[in-house]
Amino acid sequence: MGRGGVAHRSPGVGCEEAGDDVKRHPLLHGLSDDHHTALVVAQRCKRAEAPGLAALWEAVRSSFASLFEPHFAIEETHLLPALEALGEAELARRIRDDHARLRRLATTPDPTTADVRELGRALDDHVRFEERVVFEQTQDRLPARTLAALAEACARTPRVCAVELVGSGSPP
């Protein structure tokens, strides 16, 4: 159904089984849509090869500034304090740690193929953790004002991914 309905395919949750839609709170769709894009980036990184590595890395670095940093800021401003208020400080800590690791990996100067693949694995793990664990465990407990703030921040914050423009064809 996408942004307008209640059933929304969330990355990493039931995606292995066709037709398995997850009930994602409509106000979390903006973050889940970013997560889908992040999984595309992760796949491209995990499949990185030496030919084309420089172009892929340039797109990843650009996407980090234009998609991931704004996404992280939305989560760090609105989601993490709400998780802590719910008594889910460990989930918030894991997200902060993941964000720090992803930032560090994305700023690797002159990365090798192994470095780019490591970023892909870390990004994939992070997205699946947020979708499968964080959203599943907390979406029904997050305050309405937090959900509304998340949705509004997603709506007003431009987020662009350059990685989808690089490589071979459609997303995996």
Beta strand pairing call for 22-23 and 7-8: antiparallel
Q: Does residue 89 fall inside a structural domain?
A: yes
Taking only the tens place, the pLDDT of each residue in 143-164 is: 999 999 999 999 999 998 877 5
Taking only the tens place, the pLDDT of each residue in 43-55 is: 999 999 999 999 9
Average pLDDT for the chain: 86
Residue 101 per-residue DSSP state:
H
Which pTM does this prediction carry?
Answer: 0.84
Instruction: Name the residue range of residue 6's domain.
Output: 2-162
Q: Does residue 169 fall inside a structural domain?
A: no
* Number of domains within the chain: 1
Q: Does residue 19 fall inside a structural domain?
A: yes
pLDDT category at 83 given cuts 50, 70, 90 is: very high
Q: Does residue 157 fall inside a structural domain?
A: yes
